[in-house]
Amino acid sequence: MVEVNACLKQLDNKDIADYEHNQLMRRLRQLIAQSWHTDEIRKLRPSPVDEAKWGFAVVENSLWQGVPNYLRELNEQLEENLGYKLPVEFVPVRFTSWMGGDRDGNPNVTADITRHVLLLSRWKATDLFLKDIQVLVSELSMVEATPELLALVGEEGAAEPYRYLMKNLRSRLMATQAWLEARLKGEELPKPEGLLTQNEELWEPLYACYQSLQACGMGIIANGDLLDTLRRVKCFGVPLVRIDIRQESTRHTEALGELTRYLGIGDYESWSEADKQAFLIRELNSKRPLLPRNWQPSAETREVLDTCQVIAEAPQGSIAAYVISMAKTPSDVLAVHLLLKEAGIGFAMPVAPLFETLDDLNNANDVMTQLLNIDWYRGLIQGKQMVMIGYSDSAKDAGVMAASWAQYQAQDALIKTCEKAGIELTLFHGRGGSIGRGGAPAHAALLSQPPGSLKGGLRVTEQGEMIRFKYGLPEITVSSLSLYTGAILEANLLPPPEPKESWRRIMDELSVISCDLYRGYVRENKDFVPYFRSATPEQELGKLPLGSRPAKRRPTGGVESLRAIPWIFAWTQNRLMLPAWLGAGTALQKVVEDGKQSELEAMCRDWPFFSTRLGMLEMVFAKADLWLAEYYDQRLVDKALWPLGKELRNLQEEDIKVVLAIANDSHLMADLPWIAESIQLRNIYTDPLNVLQAELLHRSRQAEKRRPGTGSSRRTSVNGHYCRDCGRYA
């Protein structure tokens, strides 16, 4: 992709010589042929290490150049409009990865894997910085320097002070890289002298050169490649990409339960929340170790403890946060802090509870209020708290309308609680790529947040399927980061209004009605699960080697154990798009029938949160195709279940009518005709894939004598739709 883009950019040059034009065209044909003759379907699932390597490739091929370019563009805009330059050390963006750190429901991510990925990330950082430093060794041949720099290099380096410093840094990077290579091979070597472990060790010699060049009137040189490297140190640094650790709360509870039973002091798992908190706070304040030296825990508990050990041993800054999925209580957070303390961690690791079901979102503020009232905890966090808001699982649990309102209310309450307590709150948005998983255009999504939600910065997930669309090339990276910057500035400088109390009451009503209808189908309708499994390729999706993580949190169980990604992906395949709208339109219709349409119209006009919700519904309906959804039913679903499919399609038709009425639009996407046109153009390619997929699924399921390659074709049809999980057509 990177080389294809480079060829196309050169071909845009009208002054290019004929010979060079022919060379570029030949190379372009070669690249297209290579892609065409490469199997589009992975035969084996990637390992977590494979996924991490792919992430490092994105850094090398795109972000490494894209971030400095973005900062140069931002600096130019500031200079031109405000007469203000960005400070050298100011880099408003950092990158963190879950690749190699997210073990929630993924048994393939172990403590050893996390340790390996951390080492691999550091190795890649040394490799990239070595290339930068080699350029600087070549460029920084200047002799004139400040007394401070000359004192730093001494007599030995006085002749070429800048080169001398760069060569020393190059030697340290090479020694660090060699040590990391040995560690990756499993060799245990003593740490070499000059091993780079902290960003300051990279920053200080580079910044000393920068200051000296500026002071000696060579600012044009200082602001070249050297400035780009300094900004890369601030953005990427020694770790290259920081890692988040994510684990489900029950794993920590089970580990402590096993420990307390071994110690003979009771069963932690069965204790009340008050007793758990009392025990945890007592042990957190204790100076003696809790873990017995000769204790042999179960494999599951050992894995939890080993992960904490990896965190404690990693250089500070390599791991960004410990995210607790399915967090429900204050003890879930305190438990992780205790396990980290027992591992011997020497710094305060940010621990972020992830609230991701409807009930947990509704209880999030109470949980955090209790935590902030604990003196020990307040002392630990030093005025900063991160909380993660789950979008995918809450939408899967309660439907998009109820989930989005619960997310808004949780954030609003947390903002006010933390402001009152003097705590800087960073909200971590766990949005998916698709609308059913909380996805939305970045600008609209940020402006629809509660007022004040971005004061503590923004932390947001970019799903794997979205990374190449937003950060696949340096130019796209600049565009994506600029979009986020503009939206954050606008949201902070021109915050959205507080919703009226009457609007809040309407949203409460919409939430209850939509959740009841959604759960009425998904949880209570006895025909729903059989219909879901036959009308969509849900069963086949689990066999696709799309990622290292299993499709289900647990190997057994029904829809409730299915992860949000395959849940959304399955419904996207048959074009019903059900999770992204079910319940919302019915709730809106009920409120309209109660005589509140004018108020809904005012909400749509004056409240970004509500207008964004309606806009996302319109986009989903524009991407859906009821004829194709019916075709899937006819080819794949038992006739006894056809009435349910027809009922759902009729619901969508009615939902479209009420959304258009509230938005005062004559047709879907009336305000965004270019998106509507894009969807229509892409349908030309995806509609045949849908028809082929339904037919191939039918043949496979009926156990007919298939032609050779039917299984591969079926997988291709699914793979060809994969990007539609993120709202894009393949």
Q: Which residues are catalytic?
A: 396
CA distance 728 to 632: 21
CB 394 within 8 A of CB 357: yes
Q: Record the tokens describing residue 186, joined without a space.
A: 């499993």
Q: How many CB atoms lie within 10 A of CB 372?
A: 18
Q: Give just the sign of the alpha carbon dihedral 544, 549, 553, 559.
A: negative
List beta partners, residue 458.
Answer: 427
Q: What is the DSSP string of 86-99?
A: PPTT------EE-T
CB 610 within 8 A of CB 500: no
Mapped onto helix, strand or coil, the DSSP state of residue 580 is helix
First to last CA, the chain: 15
User: Residue 48, Cα to own-chain centre: how many angstroms?
Assistant: 16
List beta partners, residue 562.
Answer: 552
Q: Are strands 384-390 and 458-460 parallel, antiparallel or unpaired?
A: unpaired
CB 725 within 8 A of CB 434: yes
Instruction: Check residue 391 and report its DSSP letter.
Output: S
Q: Record the tokens describing residue 433, joined without a space.
A: 């790529």
Which residue reads 């790529």 in tokens?
A: 433
Q: What is the DSSP string of 625-669?
A: -HHHHHHHHHHHS-GGGHHHHHHHHHHHHHHHHHHHHHHT-SSTT
User: Residue 478, Cα to own-chain centre: how many angstroms?
Assistant: 18
State the amino acid at position 149 in one-letter form.
L
Q: Give just the sign of the alpha carbon dihedral 548, 554, 556, 557.
A: negative
Cβ burial of 533 (10 Å; 0-12, 13-18, 19+) is middle
Mapped onto helix, strand or coil, the DSSP state of residue 162 is helix
CB 626 within 8 A of CB 632: no
Query: Three-state SS string across 25-85, please?
Result: HHHHHHHHHHHHCCCCCCCCCCCHHHHHHHHHHHHHHHHHHHHHHHHHHHHHHHHHHHCCC
Of 302, 241, 247, nearest in space to 118 by CA: 241
